[in-house]
Structure 1
Amino acid sequence: MFRLLTAAATGDKALYRATMPRSVPLLRDWSDTDLLELQSDELCAAVWSQREHLRRTCERVMCAWAQRHPTLSPPTTEQLHWAESIVRSRSLASAEGMDRAMMLVPLFDLCNHKAQSPRGVGSEHQPPVLLTSDGVVVLCSRNDLKLGEEVHIEYCDEGNWGLLRDYGFTMPVGRTGQDASLEELHIGGAAQLVIGSPELDRVAVRRAQEELCSMLFTERVDSAAGALRREAETIAAVRDACAAALLQKPTSEAQDAIELDALATTCGDTTTQRKLDALRIRMGHKKKLRRAVQELEAAHTNCVTLMREASTSTLTSRTTPDYSTYELAHFGRHALEALERSRAEYAP
């Protein structure tokens, strides 16, 4: 940020700076009224954190400017905010092994976002952008590119939630499809459960078990029926928390859809765009919660059926593990699999 402002003040890197937008609309610029349309306490908290970070960063830059550029006019508040928005939305973090820094890279920052680019030539574990220890930036393609084809990168794996938070825009999400991104879903409950990724899911399921069982994870269950009963209780607890979080939303999915249709007939000004972004965020959030409820309900029904079969001694070792030898820490498989299914791409 400091180097960008210095270049602007001295006329350096003029050709590169000419490619940069004069303004970057970010979520932190929304009014408090606009933020309420998101129906997301987590995004609002992220905005407040970003605003505080911006304030502290500008103070540090101004102090450094007075020391290092005493003969140059200090940047205005507008210039400070512009430079920070450029760095936030267009920069890369430095490679591992180096002191962490943000870098602006010509040409790379012209690449548009495209979610979940198809895997092809490169390894699916290979990151699309490599930053080497000697400061070289390498852009890797995961699929065969044709002559003249646009090069995209995936800005983040958190879907619209992460895109709006860090880059100030959202992407369309089909009403019958699902944003398969990893997004934190705060579903509350007495244990303040959070789901949205395999790691978060495991913590949420374990906390639900602790809350229900009030026992150490090393305690053993003496029968398959007893183990499945606790599985079903855990699934029900997470399902009910998801359902409650969905019901607590100020609007329903149907109401959001009506608002979305109404926007199609309005002009694309800033107010309309923010409303559209907010609708995409909250509709995607609700769709994830609804899918989680559906998959957890199906898993609960399956567990109850298996439990009844186990209690009547009709359950065979081929239909379920030997739960009597499992420690409680191994439980939750059915809940975790259900949550993973709920994030499946293009789930209805």
Structure 2
Amino acid sequence: MPIDALFNPITIGTLDCPNRIVMAPLTRARADAHHVPTALQGIYYAQRADAGLIVSEATAVDPLGMGWYRAPGIWTDAMVDGWRGVTDSVHAAGGRIYCQLWHMGRLVLPDYLGGDLPIGPSPIAGEGETMAPPTEEYQGGFLPMKPYVVPREMTQADIDQVVAAYGRAAHNAVAAGFDGVEIHGANGYIIDQFLQSKTNRRQDGYGGSVINRIRLLKEIIAAVIAAVPPGRVGLRVSPTSERKGMGDDNPGALTEAIGALAKDHGLAYIHLIEPIASGFMEKPDYPVMDRLRAVFGGTIIQNGSFDADSAAAYIAGGQADAISFGRPYIANPDLVTRFRDGRPLASANFDYAYVGEEKGYTDYPVFQPG
């Protein structure tokens, strides 16, 4: 299969991109303990600046949405300044970078909130467990794991606060020098919790019908595009994913509603997580890409278990406009070159996926022939 389709330029919204290889968001936990981005992150992203587009790791919009040790935020001036160093590094290397705006909702442990309960659309706990913050005895390495808890059902005031937080975060992303933003509506976080029927059992205007369940997303989009032109705003969704206790009665209909909403607001792209093979997420029994394509006229970036050949085939066949790669980017800062030249990919050391400093982060070499 010719690989050329991956390397055709593309305009995503109003952003010109030199190829169709997107670096997917990857939480790597290298901000400081106060969630301020560091110079090390600038090195990491600049190493990968030949991607057509980089989407930053998930970046929390406010403290209530932060439940990951050393993940970055964007709600303080210090965080904006830290991100400015990162975006300057990427731009100096010739790259383009969007900020992924994130709120974890019910998946935040009380340990991160001073003992308070997290918030969610309904009092239903996520399935599984997550990393707790370190204790005073922490000497590095993997953090202790704790199960998710039942969240506090959000009031209207809580909803209004979340919407406002996304708007402020979008404004801050512009101040930090990002080329645009991606609204994180996937992977079981707060927007996804409202979208999917299994986690949204509300009886008010935010629950029940699909139209009601997309209402929070609609309000967030409006707040974001008040700060960032819609041609520089993307949306990431995973309507078929059931990880962390997610699930929807009719993911196809939900997908169509999301696509129509994005079209109505003129968003630049939808970033769809729909694996073509089971791995980090399961391959869906009933894919929704065609239903999304039928209602949304913007760029579709697809994600999930692609390699260079399958990515090129999907693009050439019109099933997606660009493909994002996550885990391959961990150990392959030169992924674009490796794909173009047919070189083998390095394997990541996942012992350092979420902990550490340079090791397992910025020390992966580019390919050396021979």
TM-score by length of 1: 0.23
TM-score by length of 2: 0.22
In terms of fraction of residues, the more helix-rich structure is 1
In terms of fraction of residues, the more strand-rich structure is 2
